[in-house]
Amino acid sequence: MDRITTWLGGLDGPVVYAVIGLLVFCEDALFFGFVLPAETAVVLGGVLASQGKVSVALLAVVVVVAAIVGDSVGYEVGRKLGPSILEVRPLRPHRERVGKAQEFMQRRGGWAVFLGRFVAFFRAMMPALAGISRMPYRRFLPFNALGGLVWGVGFVLLGYFAGTAYKTVEREVGTAAAVVLAVVVVATLVVWHLRRRRAERLEESAAEAADRRDGPAADAPAVPDAPRVDGPRG
């Protein structure tokens, strides 16, 4: 992470926009999220904006546009190639997670596109799954745009205010207090992430329990009618 920060910090302003925008685009269009989650680069870009190396407003615009366009390309890839795209080598170790993403898409529809934007694996998968499921693009686009806007602006500002707060605390109180602030922020994010994961697991467990409860009744064999017994004739 330090190497990435140093590398981005050594780039010129226009190159920073291009690199971060390209990472965001590729994560959604080409599954690059398995290598480097784009939100990491976006937060680092916000930190650089707090240092005056790039414009926070322009960076937010670049990130939002790259997210929306990247998702649209991922949607088209899924629509054109169909389920075969799920058999590519990078996805083979993640078949269980891909299955959960497909179930999430079936349950939530367009909202899965929006909510998936905030989970790294789902962010890379949801556009393609929407295309595979033949979700109309006119339905996909509003959820895609809303997710890209909230996610892009939110994570840029997260990096920007984190960088600004660090500099302010360091100047007014000292480096030790700034480090404590950074640790508290990171711990808060970790706790939030763990609680979100726990909520997701509880939701999955509830869905599985419901399936098990409903399954036997739905799959029970039909009971044949009792044979008809005619009384004696005559």
pTM of the model: 0.66
| Structural domain boundaries, residue 11 | 2-159
Task: Tell whether 39 and 103 lie within a shared domain.
Answer: yes
* 32/143 same-domain check: yes
Residue 193 falls within a domain, yes or no? yes
DSSP helix/strand/coil, 109? coil
Q: Which of 93, 124, 159 is the last residue of a domain?
A: 159
- Are 25 and 132 contained in the same domain? yes
Quick one: residue 197, left, alpha or beta (phi over 0 = left, psi -120 to 50 = alpha)? alpha
Q: What is the pLDDT along the chain (234 residues), one digit of tens a residue?
A: 556 666 776 777 788 899 899 988 988 776 655 556 678 788 888 888 888 889 999 999 999 999 999 999 989 988 888 777 777 776 676 677 777 777 878 887 788 889 888 887 778 888 888 888 889 999 999 999 999 999 999 999 988 887 776 555 445 544 554 455 555 556 666 666 667 667 666 666 666 665 566 555 444 454 455 455 455 554
Same domain, 153 and 193: no
- Same domain for 32 and 62, yes or no, is yes
Total count of domains within the chain:
2
Same domain as 147, residue 121: yes
Same domain, 45 and 101: yes
- Residue 143 falls inside a structural domain: yes
Q: Are residues 16 and 91 in the same domain?
A: yes
Q: Is 178 helix (H, G, I), strand (E, B) or coil?
A: helix
Q: Would you state the torsion angle of the CA atoms of residues 36, 24, 135, 149, taken in this order, to the nearest 10 degrees?
A: 120
- Cβ–Cβ under 8 Å, residues 71 and 28: yes
Are 147 and 179 part of one and the same domain? no
